[in-house]
Amino acid sequence: MLIDAIKRLIGRGSSDADVGGESGAGLGSAEGTGGPDPLHLAACALLLEIAHADGEFSEDERAHLEEVLERHFRLPPSAGRRLIEAAEEERRSAIDHYGFTSVLKANYDLGQKMVLAEVMWGLVLADGVVAEHEQYLTRKIANLLDLKPGYLSEAKKNAAAAGEA
């Protein structure tokens, strides 16, 4: 499925691959092909990887993820749940994170990668417990997206501040 989504993305041409939406600060474009947007699918699969990193996908993590899909991807709740189901299937069948990160790395600018890093940290912090493997995986994914450690540290601070608000 991810390979098909990547092929659709590549086949759309660069003018349709705008992932920033109107403001450029979002994490993807709106769905329009009937299936999940390849960028949404890749980002959601990585977020699910982080959510499952501690062996439990808690209700707090699910609520945070659903809110992220609505706010950043502009998906209504039903479309967000369908995306989570599709991304969960992709996540389980993936052999590594490269297939997901390569799609995002090629299409996200630095600002979008920073937003994704902040969302990843928000997900890690959502259940109030930061497991060692969650930290490791977040750093690994950020590294695959070519985010410098300083950016990741800033994203963690921003996510923690947003969680306190």
**pLDDT on residue 21:** 35
pLDDT for position 35: 78
pLDDT of residue 129: 80
3-class DSSP string for 30-96 = CCCCCCCCHHHHHHHHHHHHHHHCCCCCCHHHHHHHHHHHHHHCCCCHHHHHHHHHHHHHHHHHCCC
- Greatest CA span in the chain, whole angstroms? 42
Q: What is the pTM of this model?
A: 0.79
Give the tokens for residue 118. 């902040």
Answer yes or no: are the C-beta atoms of 90 and 52 closer than 8 Å.
no
Predicted local confidence at residue 128, as pLDDT: 83
The string of DSSP codes covering 140-151 is HHHHHTT--HHH
| Total residue count of the chain as it appears in this document | 165
**Please, what are the domains in the chain?**
2-8+37-164 (1.10.3680.10)
Residue 28: per-residue pLDDT: 56
CA distance between the termini of the chain: 38
* Per-position pLDDT tens, the chain of length 165: 544 443 443 343 333 333 333 333 456 544 455 678 999 999 999 999 999 998 889 898 999 999 999 999 999 999 999 999 999 999 999 989 999 999 999 999 999 999 999 999 999 998 888 888 999 999 999 999 999 888 888 998 998 888 776
Q: What is the DSSP letter of 15?
A: G
Residue-level pLDDT at 131: 85
